Each structure stands twice: as structure tokens, then as C-alpha cells.
Structure 1
Amino acid sequence: MKVLFVCTGNVCRSVMAEFLYNKMSGDRGLSENEARSAGIAAEGYFKTPGGVQRALEERDITSINHTSQLVGRELMGWADIIVPMAKGHFDYLTDEYPEFRKKTTLFAQWTQDGTGDIDDPFRQSDAVYQKCRDRIERGLEKILERHVSQNS
């Protein structure tokens, strides 16, 4: 399953989701899975904050070579599922790209409570990045469970 995670600047939430999804898929032997990420207001010069890198290093993800990229039709067409991290991202994507609405699902739908945005940890403490990472991991578990159950 090809998943596109979308946030604002493509430096925090969607990046963590991309790298965690790819690692979790690999750990489960799901080599056909691939995640990419993009932002609705991304610029190629945006850098991934140290808090993201440290949060991912705690999950043995140490090679974080990422360039922020803007979401667009080509990436959205590539994906089997598009997962915006917040309601504002969902609204933007479904307004700008209505042809992809059916495969766009808000990340919060995969979390335990099924509600709320994945809050942006940008420029906050490492503890906030870790909390964000943990919530993303829980949602990714649900996405992977669905994928495995659909293919068994």
C-alpha cells in the first residue's frame, strides 16, 4: 500500500509518519508498502527540526535525508491512500483536488479516540515531538492492521 502523509510544511508530522510507516512496514516484512510525505505550504529549503530527528532516532531511524516538498496531483495520484494530519489539511486537499476525495482520510480516524488533529510540534520541546511521534505510531498501527487484514 502506498501512503501519502500531508501536513503544513512537510518537516514534522508528515515526515515522522513517512519514516515511521516505512520502518514499521519493513519490520513486518511488508516490502510492498511505501510512504511519502508532502506539505500544503512546503518549500524545498525547509529543514527537518532536530526534535523530529531525535524522536525518530529513539525508534532506530537514524538516516533522515528529507527535502520538504509541496503536495500536488502527481503525488496524490501515486498514493493508494492520502492521510492529512489535520482537518485544515483535509479540507484544503479535498477542495483543491476533489478527484482524490475518496482516497483521502484524516489521520485522526486511525487514532484510538478517532478525533482531533495531530498537533504540530514545530519549535516546541523534545517532549512535545515525542508525544506527537507516539500518537502517530498508534495511528500507523491501525493503518497497517487494516492493510494486513485486507490482504489476508
Structure 2
Amino acid sequence: MIRILFVCLGNICRSPMAEFVFRDMAEKRGLGGQTAAASAATSSYEAGNPVYPPAAALLRRQGLDPAGKRSVPLTQADGAAYDHIIGMDAANLRDIRRILGPGARARVSRLLDWTARPGDVADPWYTGDFETTWNDVSAGCEALLNALFPENEKM
């Protein structure tokens, strides 16, 4: 089982999108039993809050239901509990590494670094552009699945 934790600043927009998109893609490829995905925040600003309404609405339009998902903070213990901890931007990576400390065994990376166009997934909380974030998250999750399971790569 490959365990993946998606991380962003508040865990109410980008990382929950990635969590639900990745799970859905894995299930559709028959890989649901070989992967586990969750999401967390590098801050406690939104702890306990649900997915931000515009992000939740976008997920629902795509057939994914984020009901029950609440923001949780990243903890040092997550560094041993997950195989991959995937941030959305460079600031997330700095915070992830600070929180996890030197003993973390998880591989830390940015989501779009798995694609042919590495970079940051813009935060729609600030940009208001949830569609672009959706497209980036979807591309990143597909590339991640292709890298983890090349024999099951979607054509």
C-alpha cells in the first residue's frame, strides 16, 4: 500500500481537491486497494473547518463528494506514516520540512513536480481561479499515479 498525504496551507482548497481527485483516479484504474490518500495543512488557521465552499462545489460538479472532510494540521508523526507527502507550492515544502524535521522517512515533493511542467499549484483562496487549480491538481495526480504505477499508466 502506497500512502500519500497532500498538503497545503489551510487544507480547505488545494490539498482536499488533490485527495479526492487522486482517490477517484486510483479507483477508476483499479488501484484503490494499493493506495491510500489523505490531506493536511501546514497551519492550524482552518483546523476543523470543512472544504471551502467554492472548492467543495467544484468537487461536486466533478462527481466527488467532500462531505465530512475537515481541515487537519500536518504533524511530525506524518513523516513516518506516509510514503509521499506532497505540497502544492514552495512555501508548503519549506513548512512541511520544518514540521516533519530531519527524521521523516516520507518523500517530500510538490505536486506539479511530477508533471512535465514543474511549479506551484496556485492557491484559489487568493486567486479566485478554482478551475485552473482543478486542472493543475488533476494533471499532477495523473502524473503521480503514472509514476507510481507505470504498468497501469493511463493512455
TM score, norm. by length of structure 2:
0.86
Q: Report the CA distance between 1:78 and its aligned residue.
A: 1.3
Q: How far did residue 98 of structure 1 move?
A: 2.3
Is the 1:112–1:138 Cα contact (8 Å) retained in structure 2? no
1:148 match? 149
* Counterparts in 2 of 1:9 and 1:2: CA distance versus 1, 3 Å: same
Q: Which residue of 2 aligns with 1:98?
A: 102
Equivalent position of 2:73 in the other structure: 70
Task: Give the deviation of 1:48 after TM superposition.
Answer: 1.5
For residue 131 of structure 1, what is the aligned residue in structure 2? 132
Distance in 1 separating the partners of 2:3 and 2:133: 22
Aligned partner of residue 54 in structure 1, secondary structure? helix
Which residues in structure 2 correspond to 1:23-102 (within 5 Å)? 23-30=24-31, 31-42=33-44, 43-96=46-99, 97-100=101-104
My pick for the range that moved more, 44-53 or 30-39, is: 44-53
Q: What stretches of structure 1 of length at least 5 have no aligned partner? A: none
- Distance in structure 1 (CA, Å) of the matches to 2:96 and 2:127: 26
Identity of aligned residues (%): 25
Q: Letter of the aligned partner of 1:112 in structure 2? A: A
Summarize the Cα distance change of 1:20–1:61 in structure 2 as closer, same or farther, 3 Å threshold. Answer: same
Amino acid at match of 1:137: S
In structure 2, the CA distance between the partners of 1:123 and 1:49, relative to structure 1 (3 Å rule), is farther
| SS of alignment partner, residue 7 of structure 2 | strand
What displacement does 1:95 show? 2.9
Counterpart selection for 2:111 from 103, 107, 111: 107
Q: Which runs of 4+ in 1 moved over 6 A?
A: none
User: How far 1:139 sits from its partner (Å)?
Assistant: 0.7
Aligned residues: 149
Q: CA deviation at 1:132?
A: 0.3
Please report the TM-score for the alignment, with normalisation by the length of structure 1.
0.87
Cα distance in 1 for partners of 2:151, 2:126 equals: 38
Please give the root-mean-square deviation of Cα atoms over the aligned residues, in Å: 2.1
